Structure 1
Amino acid sequence: MNINEIEKQIINFMDVNDVPGISVSMVHNNEIAYQKGFGYRDVLNKKPVTPKTVWPIASITKSFTAVSALQLAEQDKLDLNKPIKKYLPYFSVSDKYASESINSDLCLKHASGLGRTGHQDRYREENYNPLIIRPQPNREHNIYATRKSLVENLYTAKLQSNPGQFFSYCNEGYATVGHLIEVLSDIKLEDYFSQNIFMNLDMRQTYTNFDAWRNEDDRTYLYSNQNNSPFYTGIDHEHFSVLELSQDYQTFLSAGGISTTANDLSLYQIQTMNFKDSKLNLHSESLNKIQNVNMPFGNSGWGYGYGYWVSYADDIKVIKHSGGLPGVSTFSIMIPSEKSGVVVLVNKNEVKSGNLAEIILNIMRGNVFRENLNDPLKFNIDDKFSSENILAEYLGKYEFRQGISEVIIENGKLCINAPSRLEAVPEKLILVPVSEDSFMNLYDGQSVSFVRNDVGKITHFLNGGYSYIKI
C-alpha cells in the first residue's frame, strides 16, 4: 500500500476542491490499516481533523437501518415482503393499491414508487431552518414531530411510478421502515441502533442525534463556499460559510441521522464484510441479501441492495454509499471479497467525496472500475435502445422544484442539464440506455428512468428521487 501516494492524492483533492478538512480510514484484510485526518475541523481556530472527529454521515445511515430490519427478519418479527399496512394500519399513500402493497423490501431498495414525497423537504426546510435570525419552534409544534406522525401523514404522497417498476430514492420510505423497527422491537429506534449495532461493534463515538455531534469536543463544523444556503448561519470562518443542520432530525434518523467517526465506520465495515461470525448478529445469507442487487438498474448488472449501491468491476462486487447534508459529503466503499474498504468524510457539501474514495481504493489494490475518473464506467449497455430515433422521444424540457432541466442528444447520447438540488451543484448527466426507458449516468452509475402514462406518452423522468415533469 503506497501511503505516500494516497496522502499526495488526498492533499491534491483538498487543494483542487478547496476543502477545509477530510477524515480518511482504510480497511485491508478486515483490519484497520490506515487512518488520518487532513486539514481543519474548525477553520477559525485551526483545530485539526483526526480519525476520531465526529461527522454527520447522512445517508450512509441507511445501511444501519437495513441491518436492523434484517435482524428482525431473522427473529421472525418482520416479513420483508409483508405489506407495511399489516404492521402499521395507519400507513397509507394517495394510491389505494400502493397503500396495500408497499412493503419493507420495496422501501429498503427504493422501489416503492414514491421517491421523494416532499415530506422530508418540508420537515427540514420549513420548520427547522436553523438561521440564527429565525428561532427554532417549540418541539411539540414541529411538523412531523415523531416518526409515527410522519407515517400517518404519508397519505398525501403521490406515486411517481408503480411500486416495483423503477428505482427512485425515497427517504420517507426509510423513515417508515425505521418506525416499523421500533414498533416491532418495542424500543425506540435510537436505543435499537445503540444496543444492537453500536455497542456490539464498540462504536464509542457514534450517535443518533445531532446534539451529540454538536456537543463533542472533537467534532467538525460544516462548510460551504456559498452564503446563499437556507442553512447558512451568518457566520464565516475565513472564506468559508458556516452551515448548520436541523436542530432535530429524529423523524428521519433511519434515513440519514447518524453521526460518527471514520474510525467507527471502519469498525462497521469490518463486520459488514465478516460472513462467518459478524458482530452485526446476522447470518451470511442476510449479509449477502443486504449487499446483493435487489433493485436492478435495467440490464446493466448494477443496482441497489439494501442501503448500498451495488456495482461490479468485472466479477468483483463493490458496495458503496454516499451521504450528503448541508456542509458535509461522506462516502463508504467496500470490496467484501477482498475484505477491503475506504471511508472518506469531507466537511464541505459541494464536493464528491466518492471520487476521492475511488482514487484511494485504486491505489490500495489496483484500479477498480477505471484508471481515471474521467473515463466512463463499464456496465452492460442495452444498445437496442440507443438509436437517435428512440432517444428523440425523451427530448424536451422538464420542470423540477429548483428550475428547468433540458434533455438533449449530444454526441449520440442522451444528456440532461439538471439544476442544483438543495445540497448539490448544477450538473450535466450523460446517459446510456440499460433497458427500455431506463438509463444510467455513464460516469457515476446513477439511475435515471422515464415514466409513461396509460397511453404510452412520456410524462416525467426520475433522478435522485425527484420527479421532473415534462413541460
Structure 2
Amino acid sequence: MQFVRNLESFILEKMSQTKIPGIAFGLLKDGELFYSKGFGFRDVDSANAVTPKTLFHIGSVTKSFTALSIMKLHENGKLSLDDPVGKYLPIDLNVKGVPVTIHHLLTHSSGIPALAYAEAYIRGYFEVSENWLPISNPEDVISFMKDYEDWVVSKPGERFFYLNEGYVLLGLIISKVLGIDYKEFVKKEIFEPLEMERTKFCDEEILKERDIATHYVHDKNGNLISRKPILGITSDGGIVSCVEDLSKYISMMINRGVYKGKKILKEENIELMEKCHIRLPYHTFGNDSYGYGWMIHPNFLNRKLIGHGGSVLTHNTYAAYIPEEKIGTIVLSNVAGYSPSYIGMYALSLLLNGSPEKLPFLKYENILKKLEGKYETYKKTMTYYVNKKGDNLFVEYKDKFSEFSMPLFFEKEENNLFIFNTISSGRRINVEFGIDGDEIWMIVERYKFKKVRG
C-alpha cells in the first residue's frame, strides 16, 4: 500500500537524519487502531526492538489525563472549574489581585510564567545540567512556588504561559477533594475502564519492566548516551504507556467520552476540553489555542486537530486526533530528535489524502534544504557558505585570519523569492534568496551570489 510505504519511508528517513534509535507509531481510523509498528531499537546495546507494546515515558501528554480527571470531578459536582486554588491547597495564588482558579491552571493562563521546576529536576536527574532541584513529591512544588509573586506578568486569563507547576497543583487538588492519591484515581477511573493494562506512573514499578525503552540523550558529538529511567514526576508528566494503550485513550476521546459502551465523560465535557480557551503566542496553522490539557489547532488542513506533545528530555511523545474524521495518531521516541508531532501530522495528512509537503514545517524544511550550499560571487571573487544548524540557516565565511557566522530568520516567501533577516554590525538587514529554474541566488547587502553546489 502506497500510504504505508510513504509513511514508513518518512519515519525511517527522519530517524536516520536525527539519530533516533527507536520509535513506536500508531494510527487510528474510524476511531480504532488500524496500523501500528515499532521502528528501530528500544535498547541499542541489546538490540531489542521497539514494538507497539513497548513502554515510553509520555511526558506532558499526561496533562490531558489530569484535565480529564478534573472534568470528571466537575461533572460529578465535586468541584467547580471557577473554584480558586486556595480553596483546596495551602498556597495563596492571587495574581495582580485576581484569584487563580482551576480553569486558569487547566489553560496555563494564571499569569505566572514557567518557573522551570520540571526543567531543573529533569536535567539534574539526567546529569546534563548543573541546575538541580530536589523535588521528591508534589507537595515540594508548593514550597518551591511560594515566592512566585515577583515573577507574575499578567492578570489571570489574559496570557498563555505554559506552567508545569500548575498541573502539579491540579493533581494535588484531585487528591484533596477525593482523599485518595491522584495516581490511584487515574488508575481506577481511566486506566482500568479503558483496559490500559500496561500503563502506569513513573515510580519504582517501572524498574521491573523489561519491555521499556531505554532513555537516551545525544552528547555534543551526536553520540547516544543512555540514562536511567526518571522517577518522581506525577500529574504534569508522569505517565508511562505504549501505542496499544494510548490508542484506547484516543479512541475514547474520538468517540466522545465512550469506550466499549463505558462512558468515561459526558460529550459536553469532552467538547469543553477541546474548546479554544486561550490563544497560543506561537502559531503553526493560525488561531492555535489551548483547551483543557490539549493543544487546539482549528485550521489543520481545514479540520480541527486536537493534540499534545510530551518530553522528559529523553523520551518524546505526540498524541493527536481529529474528531470529525475519527482519526488519530500516537508517536513515541526514546531520544530527542525529529519532532514526534511532525511525524504525527505528516501521517494524518497522508490519511486525509492531503499533501504533506504543504504542511508549514515541511515546507520550511524543504526551503532550507534547497538553499543550503556553497555560493560564489562574480567570477568566484568571494565564497560564502549557507549551512543549516538546527532549524535555522547560517551564512558563513572563513579565511586564514577571520571568520563569521550570521543566523538567518525566515520572514516571508513571494513567488520563489525567500526573504530572511539577520543582524550585522548592529543593523537589521535582509538576506534574499531567489530560485530561477535550476539557478539559486542570494543577495547579502551589496553582493549577489550564485549557488554552485549543495
**Shorter-chain TM-score: which interval?**
0.7 to 0.9
Conservation of the 8 A alpha-carbon contact between 1:342 and 1:357:
yes
Select which of 281, 284, 288 maps to 2:267.
Answer: 284
The 1:325–1:143 alpha-carbon spacing in structure 2 relative to 1, beyond 3 Å, is closer
Structure 2 residue ranges without an equivalent (≥5): 366-406, 414-418, 424-454
Conservation of the 8 A alpha-carbon contact between 1:31 and 1:270:
yes
Conservation of the 8 A alpha-carbon contact between 1:224 and 1:349:
yes
Q: Does 1:317 align with 2:304?
A: yes
* Paired position in structure 1 for 2:404: none
SS of residue in 1 equivalent to 2:141? helix
The alpha carbon displacement at 1:176 in A equals 0.5
Q: Does 1:216 align with 2:209?
A: yes
The alpha carbon displacement at 1:151 in A equals 2.2
What do the CA deviations read for 1:160-191 (whole angstroms, capped 9, x no partner)?
32211111100000100110011112110110
Select which of 148, 152, 155 maps to 1:159.
Answer: 152
Q: How high is the TM-score relative to the length of structure 2?
A: 0.73
* Paired position in structure 1 for 2:388: none
Q: Does 1:183 align with 2:176?
A: yes
The alpha carbon displacement at 1:34 in A equals 0.8
* Paired position in structure 2 for 1:469: none
SS of residue in 2 equivalent to 1:374? helix
| In 1: Cα distance, 2:20 partner to 2:323 partner | 30
SS of residue in 2 equivalent to 1:275? coil
Pick the structure with more strand per residue. 2
Query: Counterpart of 1:375 in structure 2: which amino acid?
Result: K
Select which of 136, 139, 148 maps to 2:139.
Answer: 148
| In 2: Cα distance, 1:216 partner to 1:328 partner | 16
* Paired position in structure 2 for 1:444: none
The alpha carbon displacement at 1:356 in A equals 1.0
The structure with the larger Rg is 2
Conservation of the 8 A alpha-carbon contact between 2:94 and 2:100:
no
Q: How high is the TM-score relative to the length of structure 1?
A: 0.71
Query: Counterpart of 2:273 in structure 1: which amino acid?
Result: I
Select which of 256, 273, 286 maps to 2:237.
Answer: 256
| In 2: Cα distance, 1:275 partner to 1:213 partner | 31
The 1:407–1:35 alpha-carbon spacing in structure 2 relative to 1, beyond 3 Å, is closer
SS of residue in 1 equivalent to 2:146? helix
Query: Counterpart of 2:243 in structure 1: which amino acid?
Result: A
Conservation of the 8 A alpha-carbon contact between 2:122 and 2:313:
no
The 1:147–1:14 alpha-carbon spacing in structure 2 relative to 1, beyond 3 Å, is same
Matches within 5 A, 1:50-449: 50-88=51-89, 90-93=90-93, 95=95, 97-98=97-98, 101-125=99-123, 129-131=125-127, 143-157=134-148, 158-226=151-219, 239-249=223-233, 253-275=234-256, 277-278=258-259, 279=262, 281-297=264-280, 300-312=286-298, 313=300, 315-367=302-354, 371-372=358-359, 373-375=361-363, 410=411
Query: Counterpart of 1:147 in structure 2: which amino acid?
Result: P
* Paired position in structure 1 for 2:391: none
The alpha carbon displacement at 1:411 in A equals 5.6
Conservation of the 8 A alpha-carbon contact between 1:110 and 1:169:
yes
Query: Counterpart of 1:155 in structure 2: which amino acid?
Result: K
| In 1: Cα distance, 2:184 partner to 2:313 partner | 26
When the two chains are superposed, the root-mean-square deviation of aligned CA atoms in Å is 3.1
| In 1: Cα distance, 2:117 partner to 2:152 partner | 13
The alpha carbon displacement at 1:414 in A equals 9.9
Percent identity between the two aligned chains: 27
The 1:97–1:31 alpha-carbon spacing in structure 2 relative to 1, beyond 3 Å, is same
| In 1: Cα distance, 2:8 partner to 2:123 partner | 37
The alpha carbon displacement at 1:131 in A equals 4.7
| In 2: Cα distance, 1:349 partner to 1:222 partner | 10
| In 2: Cα distance, 1:94 partner to 1:415 partner | 41
| In 2: Cα distance, 1:332 partner to 1:164 partner | 26
| In 1: Cα distance, 2:20 partner to 2:408 partner | 32
The 1:130–1:75 alpha-carbon spacing in structure 2 relative to 1, beyond 3 Å, is same
| In 2: Cα distance, 1:407 partner to 1:97 partner | 42
Conservation of the 8 A alpha-carbon contact between 2:257 and 2:265:
no
| In 2: Cα distance, 1:5 partner to 1:314 partner | 19
SS of residue in 2 equivalent to 1:202? coil
SS of residue in 2 equivalent to 1:44? coil
Q: Does 1:26 align with 2:27?
A: yes
Query: Counterpart of 1:305 in structure 2: which amino acid?
Result: G
| In 1: Cα distance, 2:235 partner to 2:332 partner | 19
* Paired position in structure 2 for 1:429: none
Query: Counterpart of 1:9 in structure 2: which amino acid?
Result: F
SS of residue in 1 equivalent to 2:45? coil
SS of residue in 2 equivalent to 1:242? strand
* Paired position in structure 2 for 1:454: none
Conservation of the 8 A alpha-carbon contact between 2:43 and 2:49:
yes
| In 2: Cα distance, 1:283 partner to 1:82 partner | 21
The alpha carbon displacement at 1:192 in A equals 0.7
* Paired position in structure 2 for 1:464: none
The 1:91–1:329 alpha-carbon spacing in structure 2 relative to 1, beyond 3 Å, is same
Query: Counterpart of 1:108 in structure 2: which amino acid?
Result: L
Conservation of the 8 A alpha-carbon contact between 2:350 and 2:356:
no
Conservation of the 8 A alpha-carbon contact between 1:56 and 1:213:
no
